[in-house]
Amino acid sequence: MPWRHMFKLDPERTISDEALDKICMSGTDAILVGGSTGVTFDNTVDLLSRIRQYEVPCVLEVSDEEAAVPGFDHYLIPMVLNTKNSDWLIGHQQRAVREFGSMLPWEMVSSEGYIVLNADATVAKLTEALTELEASDVIAYAQVADRLMRLPIVYVEYSGTFGDMDLVRQVRNKLHQAQLFYGGGITNLEQARQAAASADTIIVGNILYDNLEQALQTVEAVRVNNER
Ligand SMILES: CC(C)=CCC/C(C)=C/CC/C(C)=C/CC/C(C)=C/CC/C(C)=C/CC/C(C)=C/CC/C(C)=C/COP(=O)(O)OP(=O)(O)O
Ligand SMILES: O=P(O)(O)OC[C@@H](O)CO
Ligand SMILES: [Mg+2]
């Protein structure tokens, strides 16, 4: 996945046409459509059709079987590694594969090993994530995803708060083949630069809804800092 910067839009939240225009024309590498709750077939189709007026690639991060909408450029399937409840690691995914079977466009599908680290985030509560972890625990989860499960993506998720960049860098340094996504609490260019220096790909979400102009500036981070 060649992308270094993605904006994540939540189908459950309202975004104006004017804001969407700025987001899609911002120079971001791709738009990721996803949210942890309230994602439906209808609100996902609606957002996809609006984004499709632009050339930017559009990726669906599938978080609900009911919202598996055809027509995206790629599909990302989260698997939460540090959950107490195996439904969020493999249960939902097994049921969806059973249901969709031969309809699945496998060549357009990549799995993501999520490590959820902000206990206050909706995603942490929903997935019963074990967030009280030592750095060595986090690194070991990442290595399980990378070396044992051979997942193409490890996603360090601090949704709602800016994470520990030193830890993110330590994770990246231990990865063998997986690409490291970082998302959570990026609210300005400086944080985006730090995150872009620590992970392969950064994802910017909530600030789009809170301060669009600051969010748009984060695209610049991957232009000035694209080592690794
Ligand atoms: C037929 C067809 C065209 C299908 C295309 C789709 C496709 C390829 C399906 C494959 C089948 C499959 C395996 C589907 C997956 C099914 C599924 C429901 C899996 C569970 C995924 C999961 C673990 C969800 C838990 C929540 C989660 C990790 C969501 C990711 C996004 C995220 C963390 C958003 C942040 O949430 P937000 O609401 O913004 O959080 P805050 O409020 O804190 O900001
Ligand atoms: O919404 P924020 O906190 O920017 O996090 C982005 C993304 O990692 C959420 O899944
Ligand atoms: Mg969000």
Nearest ligand atom owner, CA of 88: 1
Q: Structural domain boundaries of the chain?
A: 5-224
Instruction: Please report the atom of ligand 2 found closest to the CA of residue 121.
Output: 3
Does ligand 1 come within 6 angstroms of the Cβ of 34? yes
The CATH architecture annotation of domain 5-224 reads: Alpha-Beta Barrel (3.20)
Does ligand 2 come within 6 angstroms of the Cβ of 10? no
Q: Name the phi and psi angles at 207, rounded to 5.
A: -65, -20
Q: What is the value of ipTM here, to two decimals?
A: 0.96
Q: CA 44 to CA 49: how far, in whole Å?
A: 9
The preferred substitution site among 15, 31, 36 for testing ligand 1, maximizing ligand atoms within 8 Å of CB, is 36
From residue 143, give the alpha-carbon distance in Å to each of 41, 137, 181. 34, 10, 14
What is residue 225's predicted lDDT score, i.e. its pLDDT?
45
Rg (CA), the chain: 16
| 17-52 per-position pLDDT tens digit | 999 999 999 999 999 999 999 999 999 999 999 999
Work out the number of other CB atoms within 10 angstroms of the CB of residue 7: 23
The fraction of the chain above a pLDDT of 70, given in percent, is 98
Nearest ligand atom owner, CA of 126: 1
Instruction: Please report the atom of ligand 2 found closest to the CA of residue 161.
Output: 3
Does ligand 1 come within 6 angstroms of the Cβ of 65? yes
Could you tell me the pLDDT band of residue 223, with boundaries at 50, 70 and 90? Answer: confident
What is residue 101's predicted lDDT score, i.e. its pLDDT?
87
Instruction: Inform me whether the pLDDT recorded for 224 exceeds 90.
Output: no
Could you tell me the pLDDT band of residue 1, with boundaries at 50, 70 and 90? Answer: confident
Amino acid type, 161 = T
| 115-170 per-position pLDDT tens digit | 999 999 999 999 999 999 999 999 999 999 999 999 999 999 999 999 999 999 99
Instruction: Please report the atom of ligand 2 found closest to the CA of residue 155.
Output: 8
pTM of the complete model: 0.97
